[in-house]
Structures are given as structure tokens and as C-alpha cells.
Amino acid sequence: MSHMTEDGLLPEKFGPLQGVKIVSTGTLIAQPFAAELAAEMGAEVIQVERPVVGDSGWRTIGVRLRNSADGPAVATTWVQERRNVFCVTLDLTQARGREILLKLLARAEIWMESSKPGTYPKWGLDDATVWKHNPKLVITHVSGFGQTGDPDFVMRPSYDVVGQAVGGMMYQTGYPDPTPPTRAAPWTGDYITALFTLWSSLAGLTYARSTGRGQSIDLAQYEAIHKTLGGTMVEYFQQGVVRERSGNRAQGFQPLDSFQAKDGWVVMGALGEVYNRLLAVIGLDPADPKWQSARTNLESIEGIEFDAMLRGWIGERTVEQVVHAMAQGKVPCSPIMTSKDMAEDPQYRAREMHIGWEDLQAGPVRGIGIAPKFSLTPGRVVRGSPAVGHDNQRVYGELLGLGEVELDSLRRDGVI
């Protein structure tokens, strides 16, 4: 019995990306997470992994769950980030594996991959060859440093933290010297890259659907990260300024920082007219020139005194008292939330940001829900994360029409 709609693998159509077909052949976070985001919005996503071991990194790293005492262990991040995805295995170093990939790509609209430059051309799967099988295909190449450039640089291996370092994010994250630069956690560079991967792929799809022409997208992780640095490079090119680390404090005005209350931490910011509202909340006169000077002259006597008074006011109160007072005064302020805080927070609950679903390996689980919220075509979770090769029969047998004899041969030879 088929579990597919007439034109695809999903049991029903939903979401704003219904009808979009994506093949994903990357590993770990950045590129596959982009594909999974699309799957949550209704796209059909086929994730290709290596036979037997699968994506050995992301399936096993971190806290692991078991549905039963003797059941397989699966990483919590895999459970969270491979929902709605159909997982198949395929050895692309074998000719028959490459033939099957081309069959998958022939019916797809987007192919996302992450690898060192030259990997797929080495296997005879360069863009031009793939387009002979599907000229409308959008091909998104995700790599650490791009497909072109300095030959030594582009062939270097990369991880999230390397991308953050090269892209400029890491130098600005953390506290001033001698404290070392800090990575943005958990894997911020990878998740930024994932967002660039998805929006650029959908932009390419828009063009392909209107013109019938697919194109290649060259996405370097360090460039995606670099794009999020605001005015950093204008400051350098125009004025020679190297933006330094300042911890959680803003540069040039106060307050914007983390502050310790009696029972925890809050973060607060007050810019422009909000600053005057903050002064009123903590009992200082907004008309006093001393406090107006303090807002931009951080290292002056007034600036230091204001910071000390604000920290003293907050330190005498609980987190709840501080947040309530600031909310009443219309000053942006929040607890710095832990996992427990977020799980119990009424706003998270009201917007159903944490949901339960049935994982195909770990059983009933609860985690992060769907974002953003579409009014007419909301995303949803229709299946949990699959085991290695879980969908081989469905994809290769039902979708591509390969017979049992051929499938047995492919299994025997380690192609799938």
C-alpha cells in the first residue's frame, strides 16, 4: 500500500512549499538543516546518506535517546532536525549510485549539497552533466570557503567554529583581552549558513520556474557569516576602525548589558527615549543633565555612577520583580532563559513553540515546534526522524520503480 500522494512521497499536501522537491546530499548541520526547514513547510525532501553508517556525525553527537532498553540510540539534535525528511542511503563513489542520484535529481527542483570543491565533478556529477538530466534544477553548493578563490584556501576543511573565525563573528564575540574570543553557541555559523542556503535556493527556484533555467549557487559559509556583521567593514574601510569585543555591553551608549538580580540574570537595553523611561523606573530624574551625560559617556564619572546605581537597583530585586517593573515602564528587559525557563514560559506555551511528536526511532518526544507561523498554509510535523536507509524501499521501489531483484542487488553490492 502506498503512503504517497500522486506526485510525491508525502502522505498529504501542506505548507507554503507544497510541491517543491528537494534532494539533499550534505552532512551535519548547515545544508541539511536548510532542507529540513523546507520539509517543515511542506517540501518533499530526500536526504541521501552513506550506506550503513549514515550521517555518522549528526546521528550520534550529543545526548542520545532510546525508545527501549535494547533499541538504537539516536542523538537529540537528529530527532529535532530531521523531521519530515525521507532518508535513503547511496554510495556515490559507485557508478550505479551516481546513476540513481541522477534519477532522483531528474525529478527534483533543488539539489543542495555540502562538500569540498571538486568532489562531485570528480565523480562525473559536475553541474553541466546534471543539467543534461534536468535543465531546470537549482544546484546549491555549500562549502566552507566557496567553489572558487585561492586554491589553497578553498580546499581547507571547515567547521562552524572555523567559519565564525574566518567570517569575523568570533573576534567580536566575548569579553575584551585577555579573555579569548568566543564562539557563538550552539552552532550559530552553521545555522546562519542554513538560512542563506534556503533563501538562496528558493530565490533560484523562483527564477527557474519563471524561465525554465536552473542555475548554480555558490554559498561559502564564511561569507554567509560575514554578511551578518553590520557596519563592521564600512567602519574599517572608511575610518580604519577594528571593532573589538565588548562582552554584552553596547559600544557608545548604555545600558545594554546583562545584569545580575537576586536570583538570576536579566538582559536590558534602553536607547533613545527608552532611556528616560528607564530613569523614571529606577527613581532618577530624566531632566538631570548628569544622567543624560551618563548615557553616552560610559567611562565618565557620571557614566560609571549610573552603571553602578542601575546594577545596585537590579541586584536588590528578583528577576521577576525587575522584569515586571521594566515591562510596566516599557523598557525592554528579559530573563536570560535556560531550557527549563523556556519550557515553562507562558509565551512559549501560548504560541505552541514546544510540541510533541512521534519519532520513528526514539518514540514520543517533545521539542521545538514550527516557526514562523503562516496564516493560510502553516507548516507541521508529519513524521519523525528516520533511521539509516529507512526510506530506501519507498523512494527507490515506489518512487523510482526499481524492482526487488535490482534492489537486492544494490543492497548486496553496498550501493544502497
Q: Residues with catalytic annotation?
A: 190
Half-sphere exposure of 317 (CA within 13 A, CB side): 17
Return the bridge partners of 334, or none: 267
- Residue reference for cell 503562516: 374
| Residue 123: how many other CB atoms lie within 10 Å | 16
Give the side-chain half-sphere CA count within 13 A for 399: 26
Pairwise CA distance, residues 157 & 257, whole Å: 36
Distance CA 95, CA 87 (A): 20
Integer angstrom CA distances of residue 266 from 105, 248, 261, 334, 404:
49, 11, 7, 5, 60
Q: What whole-number distance in Å separates Cα of residue 325 and Cα of residue 332?
A: 11
Give the residue from 99, 48, 109 showing the smallest Cα distance to 386. Answer: 48
DSSP category for residue 79: H
CB under 8 A, 24+ apart: contacts of 38-41: 38/198, 38/201, 38/202, 39/83, 39/84, 39/85, 40/15, 40/83, 40/84, 40/370, 40/379, 40/380, 40/381, 41/15, 41/16, 41/17, 41/374, 41/377, 41/379
Q: Determine contact, residues 113/141, Cβ cutoff 8 Å.
A: yes
Q: Is the peptide bond before 255 cis (omega within 30 degrees of 0)?
A: yes
* 168 Cβ contact partners less than 8 Å away, ≥ 6 residues apart: 225, 226, 229, 232
Secondary structure string (H, E, C) spanning 114-155: ECCCCHHHHCCCCHHHHHHHCCCCEEEEEECCCCCCCHHHHC
Strand partners, 49: 89
CB 147 within 8 A of CB 154: yes
User: 21 pairs with which residues across the strands?
Assistant: 44
